[in-house]
Amino acid sequence: MPRRTDLHTLMVIGSGPIVIGQGCEFDYSGVQACKVLRREGYRIVLVNSNPATIMTDPEFADATYIEPLTPEMCERIIEAEQPDAILPTVGGQTALNLALALHQRGVLEKHGIELIGASLPSIELAEDRQLFKDAMTAIGLKSPPSEVVGSVEDALSAAERLGYPALVRPSFTLGGSGGGVAHDQAELREIAERGLKLSPIGQILVDKSLLGWKEYELEVMRDARGNFVVVCTIENLDPMGVHTGDSITVAPAQTLTDKELQRLRDAARAVLDKVGLATGGANVQFAINPDDGDVYVIEMNPRVSRSSALASKATGFPIAKIAALLAVGFTLDEIPNDITRVTPASFEPSLDYVVVKIPRWNFEKFAGVDRVLGPQMKAVGEVMAIGRTFPEALQKGIRALDIGMVGFGSRLEEAPPEVLRLPTAQRLFQVASALFNGMPLPEVAATTGFDPWFVRQMADIMHIQQTIIGKKLTLERLDAADFRKLKRCGFSDAHIAQLVGVDETAVRDRRKALGVTPVYYRVDTCAAEFEAFTPYLYSTYEDGDEAEPTGRPKVVILGGGPNRIGQGIEFDTCCVHACFALREMGYETIMVNCNPETVSTDYDTADRLYFEPLTAEDVLNIIDVEKPDGVLVQFGGQTPLNIAHALAAAGAPIWGTPVETIDLAEDRERFNALMRELDIPQPEGATAMNKSEALAAADRIGYPVLVRPSYVLGGRGMALAFDADMLADWLDKQITWGAHPVLIDRFLDDAFEVDVDALCDRQRVTIGGIMQHIEEAGVHSGDSACVLPPYKISMYHIEIIREYTQRIGKALGVKGLFNIQFAIKDEVVYVLEVNPRASRTVPFVGKATGHPLARYAAQIAAGRTLDEIGFLEEPRVDGFFVKEAVLPFQKFPGVDARLGPEMRSTGEVMGHASGFGHAFAKAEMAAGTALPLDGGVFISVNDFDKGAVVKIARDLHKLGFALLATSGTAHWLQTVGLPVTPVNKVSEGSPHIVDRMRAGDIQLIINTPRGGQAHADGALIRGTAHLYGVPIITTMSAAMAAVQGIKAMKQKPLRVRSLQAHHGRG
Amino acid sequence: MQGCLALEDGSVYAGLGFGAEGVQTGELVFNTSMTGYQEILTDPSYHKQIVTMTVPHVGNTGINPEDVESDRVWVAGFVVRALSPVVSNWRTQGDLDAYLKAQGVIGLSDVPTRALVRHIRSRGVMRAAIAHGEAAQDPAALVEQARQSPDMSGWNLVDDVTCAEPYNWTERSDPQWYRSHRYDPAGPLVVAYDFGIKRNILRMMTDRGLRVRVVPAHTPAADVLAMNPAGVFLSNGPGDPAAVTYAIQNVRDLLGKTSVFGICLGHQILGLALGGRTEKMRFGHRGGNQPVKNLLSGVVEISSHNHGFAVTPDSDLSGAEITHINLNDNTVEGLRHVGLGAFSVQYHPEASPGPHDSLYLFDEFVSRVKA
C-alpha cells in the first residue's frame, strides 16, 4: 500500500527528559521518525520537553514545541496545530501514556485525531498486566503464575498462594519503576506499597519469581498487511530476576536450537496478533526454563523501545524509521533496505558477528542505594560492542564502558560463591576473578545462572590471561601468532601491557611492527550475502578489510561513549551538530562511538560510522586506516578528552582548542596564575596531595569548603565540608591519593551562580548565552535550574561577566566552544571554572537563542572565523527560557533526595514563556513536579533561611495556600502574624508530616537542609515527597521562583509556542 | 589439527580441522541461517556440497537427536568461524566434533568465513576441496583436486540419496514445536517421491492427516498411480534438476491425473515437466531469512531456502503461473498450474531450519487432495 494521502499533519510525541529506563534511545527513534515522515511530505508537529535532544532542533519538524508533556499542554498544541494523527510509539512509555490520557480526556475524539502506529485497545492490552495475562492464556501461551492486585493486603495474600520470592511489577511504569523481588512479607509490604503508588492506575502484579530462568527478547515488526519479521533475537547473560535494561545482553541468541527459536518466533507472532498491534515495532520477552525448555511469556511492548534501538544498531535495520513508514500505510516490502539498496525491508537480518550490550551504572553517586540489581532498572547508560566472537565483543564492550577496566580480567579480586550469587554491577568482573582463581565452571554457572556456554567462553579468555602470567611472558616473546590470538579474543593493548608489564605504546608499536592490525567489517544486515553500501564498521582481527576509506577531506568526530550522569545526551547532540556542520562544509564525517542509544551512532548521521570503544587504541587504529585531516575531541564530553593526549602523542591531527589549553584549564596552579595575570578574582583555593595538606589548606581558607578530585566531570566526588571532621571523613572515604591532587576551594555560600557558553576563534569571542542558576552556589550546575537570560543580576555584573569571558577566551586561545562558571557574592564576580570544550548547556542555549553553537564550534575548528560564520553578536533572548534538572530519586528509595555539589540528575527539561514566572512554572511541570495552584504548603527551613522564608510564606498565604510547618518554623511564622498549622516531625510521633503527605494535605514542600548533616527527618520528608510526586523545593531562591511561577499561573494561563514561531521562522 | 580449504580458483583458506580427517571435494556454498546447523548437515540437498556457515559460533547447542532431517550427515564438508568449545542445551546429547567424526565428515573451524563468503558472493559458487590432517599440508594438491572434481551442472545426485525401498511414514512432529497441531491417522494417501526428502516435510504431511508412502525416485508413474493416491509429492533433493530426466518424465506422466505438490528440486522438476527451463544461480539462496512474496495474497513470507538452481522466469511453463517470487532478486519461487492441479515452491515451507511462515502450503495441499 502506498503512503496515506488522507493525513497531512502528524504529531510526534517525544519521551521528555532522560530518566533511568527512558534514555536517549527515544531521541534516536524520534529523529528517525521525524526525518522519514517529513521526507514523505507530511507536516510534522513535534512535542518534547527535552531541549538537549537532536529531535527538538527546529530543522527536524515543521513546528517544534518544547513544552511539558502533559495532556493540558498537549491539547493546547493540538488546538493550535490541528494534527490529523498522532504517532505515539516512538516516544517511549511517556508518549504512550500521554496518548492514552488524551484519549481518556476526549481530546482525540473532540479534534478528530487518529492514533497511528498503535491502537488504544492494543496499548491497554499490552500494558495492563491482568488483561495481558488473560490474553496469553487465551492463545495457549504460558505466563508466570501471578495475581493482579490493587492493595498491599491483597498482595500479601497473593504471595501466600504463589510463594516467595515474589516479583512485584507495577502496571504502566517505565523501566520497571517500583518493581522489586520480595523474599518475605516485610519486603513485600514495602515494595507493594511503593509499586501501588507509582502505578498510574494503582495496580501491581505479584508474580511467581522465575529467578534463574534464561531470558530472551525478540524484536519484531509487522505491517498492515500482516507481514511479520523478527529483526533481532537477544539473549540475556543475566538470568531472570534482573531487569533487561540492567542485564548484559547478547545478540543474536546463542544457546537456542532452531526448533526453540522458531517456537519463540511463532509465539511472538501470536502475541502480536492477539494484542492487535496493526503496524510497527514491538518486543516480546520470554523466559525459558534451562532444565526442560519450558517457555513463559513475560511481557510485550507495543512500541519502539530501548531494546529496539539496540536491535537497530546491532543489525543495521532501522526499526523506528520503518515503524514510522508502516504507520502511514507502507508495507515492509515497499521499503528498501538502505544498506543493501537492492533488497526490501521485509526480511530478517542475519548477523555474522556477535553483539554484546553492557549497562553502565552510577551507584557511586547515590550513597545508601541498594546496589543489588533486580526488576527495577538502575543503569543510566549502556555500551554496545561488535566482534566476530563473543569473547571479542565482550572484551570490547568492557573497555568501552570507560570505567577503568581494560579487559575482562583486568582487575582480579577474591570472588567467593556468595558474592557471585548476587547480581550487581561488579558481578561480571567477579566471575573473571572466580575463573582465574580456579572455581570450577559448573559452579560458576550454577551460582550466577549464566549459561554454561558463556561461562566457558569467559573461561577461555581467562585461560589465555593465565598462560601469559603463568609463563611470565614478556612483550618480546609475543610473536605475531600470539598477538593474533590475543586480539581475536578481544584483549586490548592496554590489558596486554598490564599483563607483560610495559606501557601501552610499547605494545602498540610491537603489534604494528609484527603486522597485526585490525580489519574493519561492515554491519550489512545480511551476513555478506549482498553488497553493503553503508560504511557502518566494526573492527576485528581477520582477513578482508572492508573499510574502503575515501580520499576525500575528512574529519573524525569522537562521541561520548556510554551515557552517565554528567555526560549524557547533550554531548551526543553536540557531536551530531559537529557532524552536520562539517558535512555542510564539504568534509566527509567519520563518527566513532559505542553508545547504541544515540543519534550519533545512526548510520545515517555521519558519512561513516565506526561502532568502536573510545579508547586510544581503538581510535588510533581507525585513524591509521582513515588518515583524517582532523580529529574533534571537544564535543563528546570527558571521554574523548581523556584520550586526547594519547592521540596527539601518536600524531593525530587534533582540531579546535589544543590539548594543552584544555590541560591549562584543568591544572589548578597554572590556571590560577593565569587568572591572577588577567586580574580576575577566584574564590580562594588550594590543591593538596595528601590529607594533612588538605586539612591545613581548609583551615587557611576557612569553612565551609568545596572539595573535589581534579579531572572529573559532573561533579563526581565533589562535596561541601562544613568543618574539619567532615572534611577528614570525606577524604578518608572518597580519596585514594595518587598523581592527581584534591582541589579545595572556599565555598561562596548564598552566591548567585552564572554559566556562560561562548565561542572563540582565537581572535574574537562571541557569547552564546548567559544563564543564571536558580539554586544558589553549592548545588551542582547540572542539577540546578537555570534561566536564560538572567533574571536577578544587575547589568553591571553582567557586563563584568561579558568582559571576563572575552578576556579568558582570548588568553586561553580557545578555538571553539568554552564554558565558564561564575559566582557573584558581595558585589564581586568570581570565576569558578573554565572548560574549553562543549558544555552540557550548549543544546539548551541553542534552543533558546536559535543559534546552534556546536555547529559554529565545529566550523571554527575547521578553520572558519566567527566573522565568516556571521556570529559576532551575543544573541538577544526574547522571553525567558528555564532549564530544570530531573533527578532519579524515585528509582533509588533510601537515598537522600537533597541537591548538592555532586551532580545526580539524569535529564533536563525546558520551559519558555514571555515572563519568568510562566517559564519556571512550565519547567517544573515538564519535570513532573507541577507547581500547585492551591492547597497546603509545608515549610521547614534551617535557621539561616528563616529571614528569607517570611516573604515566601506571606506570598503563598496571599495566594490562598494553607501553611503548615514544623514547630520551630511555625513559631517563627506565627510571630510575624501568619496563620500556620504546626505539624509534628516524624520523630515527634503520629500524626506527623509524612502522615499528612500520605493523606494528601500537602501540595508543596519547602524544606532547606539543616547544616552539613543529612537530617533523618529531612531525608524522610524528601523521600516521601518524591514517592508521592509532591514538588519539593530545597533552596530559598527556588522557593521564590516557585512563588513567581504560581502567581503567574494564577494571573494568566500557560500558553504554547513553537520554536519556529518564536524564532520567527514559523 | 591443521585444516585447509582449497578453491578451484586457487584461493586457499587455512583453519583448524575437526570431525573426520581426510579430504573431500564438493561445491562450496554458504548458508546465512543463524540456527539449525544440525538440520542443515542432515539435509540431503547438501549432498556433495561444502557448507560454510556465516554465523560465527556453531555447535553451541550440541547434537539433539530429534533435530536431524535424515539418517545421516550429507554435507561434504562443514566450514565455520568458531566451533563451540562447549555444548549447552537442555536436550543435548553430544557435541558437533564427535558427531562429524562419527559420520566421517570433515569440519574446518577458525576460517575467515566472512572473507570467504564475500569471495563466493563476488565470484559465484565453485568447487573446493576440504582437508583435515596431513592432506591439509599440500594446498596446491588440494586446489588441483578441487579442479578435478565434478561440476554441479548436469550432475544427477538424486540417485545417491533416494531410498532403496518404498516405506510408510507415520511419525508426526513433537507438539511442543508447533502451535497448531492436528493429526488424522485415517486421512487420504499421498505418495512422496524421495529425491532426498527431509523428514520435516513428511511430518508436516502426517501432522495434517495425510497417510504418506515414500517411494524411490525411480518409481514409474504408473506404479504410483496404481497406489491410487489422492496426491503426489515431489521432494527436495541435491544436484542439477535437469539431469534427473526420469523424474521429469514421471511427473509429466502424472500431471493431470492426480494433485501434485513439489518443493525445491521437486519444484524444479515440475517446472521442467511443464516445459520450462532451469538455470544455475550465481551463488544460490541458502538461509532462513529470504523474503518471498506470495503474488496471490500479497503477503511476504520469511522463508527457508536451499537452492542453487532455479526455474527460469521467461521459460514456457505450459500456462502455469508464477505464484511466488523472491523480493531480493525476483527469482521464481512458486508455480501453479490450476488446470493440471499442480503447484510447487522453490523454498522450504517445512522450514527446519527456519521460520514457519509458509506452512499454509501443506494445508493447501491437504485441501487439494481432500477435494
For B237-252, the pLDDT digits (tens) are 999 999 999 999 999 9
Find the closest chain B residue to A332 by CA distance.
B300
CB contact under 8 A, A254 and B38: no
Query: Phi and psi dihedrals of B154, rounded to 5?
Result: 80, 5
The pLDDT of residue A743 is above 90? no
**Do residue A346 and residue B88 have CB atoms under 8 angstroms apart?**
no
User: CA angle, A1049 as apex, A1043 and A1053 as ends, to 5°?
Assistant: 170
Note whether A258 contacts B67, CB cutoff 8 Å. yes
Q: Phi, psi (5° rounding) for residue A116?
A: -115, 150
* Count of CB atoms situated within 10 Å of the CB of A669: 10
B109 CA to chain A: closest CA distance, Å? 13
Q: Which of A259, A279, A333 is the mutation pick for testing B, counting most B CBs within 10 A?
A: A259
Give the pLDDT band (50/70/90) at residue A1026: confident
pLDDT at A65: 98
pLDDT in tens, A881-891: 999 999 988 78
Give the per-residue SS3 of A254-282: CCCCHHHHHHHHHHHHHHHHHHCCCCEEE
Distance from the Cα of B103 to chain A's closest Cα (Å) equals: 21
pLDDT in tens, A51-105: 999 999 999 999 999 999 999 999 999 999 999 999 999 999 999 999 999 999 9
Which among B34, B115, B353 has the least Cβ separation from residue A351?
Answer: B34
Task: Average the pLDDT over each of A230-234, A708-712, B14-18 and give the range with the smallest value.
Answer: A708-712
**How many Cβ pairs within 8 Å bridge chains A and B?**
178
Per DSSP bridges, beta strands A880-886 and A907-913 are antiparallel
Distance, in angstroms, between B166 CA and closest chain A CA? 29
Is the pLDDT confidence value at A1014 over 50? no
Alpha carbon distance B332, B346 (integer Å): 7
- 3-class DSSP state of B319: coil
Interface test with A, best of B90, B123, B324, B360 (most A CBs within 10 A): B90
CB contacts, 8 Å: A529 with chain B: 30, 32, 54, 117, 121, 287
Mean pLDDT of all residues in A470-498: 95
Residue A448 has pLDDT above 50, yes or no: yes
Listed residue (A930, A841, A840, A922) closest to A879, CA to CA? A922
Instruction: Work out the burial of residue B316: count CB atoms within 10 Å of its CB; fewer than 13 is exposed, 13-18 middle, 19 or more buried.
Output: exposed
Q: Which pLDDT band holds residue A296 (cuts at 50, 70, 90)?
A: very high
Contact (Cβ atoms closer than 8 angstroms) between residue A423 and residue A242: yes
Contacts (Cβ under 8 Å, ≥6 apart) of A990: A984
Q: Do B60 and A529 touch (CB under 8 A)?
A: no
More confident residue, A738 or A287: A287
Alpha helices in A600-656 (DSSP H): 616-626, 638-649
Q: At what angle do helices A946-958 and A967-975 cross, to 10 degrees?
A: 70
Q: Give residue B1's pLDDT.
A: 74
CB spacing of A140 vs B356 below 8 angstroms: no
Chain B hits for A216, Cβ within 8 Å: none
> How far B98 CA lies from chain A's nearest CA (Å)?
18
Residue of B nearest to A254 (CA): B60
Taking an 8 Å cut-off on Cβ atoms, the answer to whether B90 and A229 are in contact is no
Task: Note the pLDDT of residue B370.
Answer: 87
Contacts of A530 in chain B (CB under 8 A): 121, 328
Name the residue of chain B whose CA is nearest to A140's CA.
B179
CB contact under 8 A, B287 and A350: yes
CA–CA min distance B294, chain A (Å)? 11
With 70 as the cut, is the pLDDT of residue A711 above it? no
Residues of B in contact with A254 (CB under 8 A): 57, 60
CA distance B62 to chain A (A): 9
Radius of gyration of chain B (CA): 20
Asked if residues B230 and B313 have their Cβ atoms less than 8 Å apart, the reply is no
Cβ <8 Å between B55 and A452? no
> Of A529, A540, A542, which to mutate for an interface test with B (greatest number of B Cβ within 10 Å)?
A529
Q: Rounded to an integer, what distance in angstroms lies between the CA atom of residue B371 and that of residue B366? A: 8
> In this predicted model, which residue has the larger pLDDT, A1039 or A208?
A1039
pLDDT category of residue A868 using cuts at 50, 70 and 90: very high
Tens of pLDDT, residues A978-987: 999 999 988 7
* pLDDT on residue A180: 85
Between A328-332, A492-496, A709-713, A937-941, the lowest mean confidence (pLDDT) is in A709-713
Residue A178 has pLDDT above 80, yes or no: no
Q: Which residues of A touch B199 (CB under 8 A)?
A: none
Average pLDDT over residues A214-237: 96
Which regions of A67-127 does DSSP assign to beta strands (E)? 85-87, 114-115
Cα B85 to Cα A28: distance, rounded to the nearest angstrom: 38
Q: Is residue A1030 over pLDDT 80?
A: yes
Residues of B in contact with A253 (CB under 8 A): 35
Which DSSP string do the residues of A458-494 spell out, in sequence order?
HHHHHHHHHHHHHTT--GGG--HHHHHHHHHTT--HH
Tell me the shortest Cα–Cα distance from A491 to chain B, in angstroms: 17
Q: pLDDT confidence of A368, banded at 50, 70, 90? A: confident
Instruction: Compare A635 and A714 and report the one with higher pLDDT.
Output: A635
What's the rounded Cα separation, in Å, for the pair A111 and A78? 8
Whether residues A350 and B67 touch (CB distance < 8 A) is answered with: no
Mean pLDDT of A818-824: 96
- Best of B125, B300, B347 to disrupt the A interface (most A CBs within 10 Å) is B300
Query: Which pLDDT score, from 0 to 100, does residue A1013 have?
Result: 46
Of A292, A346, A456, the CB nearest to B90: A292
Is there a contact between B291 and A333 if contact means CB atoms under 8 Å apart?
yes
Quote the CA–CA distance of B310 and B331 in Å, as a whole number.
Answer: 7
Cβ contacts (< 8 Å) between B302 and chain A: which residues? 228-230, 346-348
pLDDT at A1015 over 60: no
Enumerate the residues of chain A whose CB falls inside 8 A of the CB of residue B57: 254, 354, 389-390
Interchain CB distance below 8 Å, A527 and B88: no
For A522-567, write each residue's pLDDT tens digit. Answer: 999 999 999 999 999 999 999 999 999 999 999 999 999 999 999 9
Instruction: Return the percentage of chain A with pLDDT > 90, whole number.
Output: 77
Instruction: Categorize the per-residue pLDDT at A1 as very low, low, confident or very high, splitting at 50, 70 and 90.
Output: low
pLDDT at A759 over 70: yes
- CB–CB contact A347 B289 (8 Å): yes
Pick the residue from chain A with its C-alpha nearest to B179: A266
pLDDT, position A128: 83
Q: Give the pLDDT score at A171.
A: 77
B90, B112, B300 member nearest A293 (Cβ): B90
Once rounded to an integer, what is the mean pLDDT over residues B146-159? 97
Mean pLDDT, residues A360-381? 90
Weakest mean pLDDT among A21-25, A710-714, B154-158, B199-203 = A710-714
Of B56, B90, B327, the CB nearest to A344: B327
The distance of B283 to chain A (nearest Cα, Å) reads: 9
Q: Which residues of B touch A140 (CB under 8 A)?
A: 179
CB-based contact A228 B298, cutoff 8 Å: no
The upper half-sphere exposure of residue A246, i.e. CA atoms within 13 Å in the direction of its Cβ, equals 26
CA dihedral sign, ordered B263, B267, B273, B279: negative
* Closest chain A residue to the Cα of B84, Cα to Cα: A453
Q: Which amino acid does the sequence have at B87?
A: V
Active site residues of B: 264, 348, 350
pLDDT tens for B338-367 read 999 999 999 999 999 999 999 999 999 999
What pLDDT, on a 0 to 100 scale, did the predictor assign at position A738?
75
Interface test with A, best of B13, B61, B69, B307 (most A CBs within 10 A): B61
DSSP states of A287-337: EE-TTT--EEEEEEESS--HHHHHHHHHHS--HHHHHHHHHTT--GGGSB-
Contact (CB<8Å) A529/B287: yes
Q: Is the bond preceding residue A789 a cis peptide, omega within 30 degrees?
A: yes
pLDDT score of B108 more than 90: yes
| Mean pLDDT for all residues in chain A | 93
CB contact under 8 A, B67 and A257: yes
> Interface pTM (ipTM) of the complex?
0.98
User: Distance between CA A855 and CA B1 in Å, rounded?
Assistant: 57
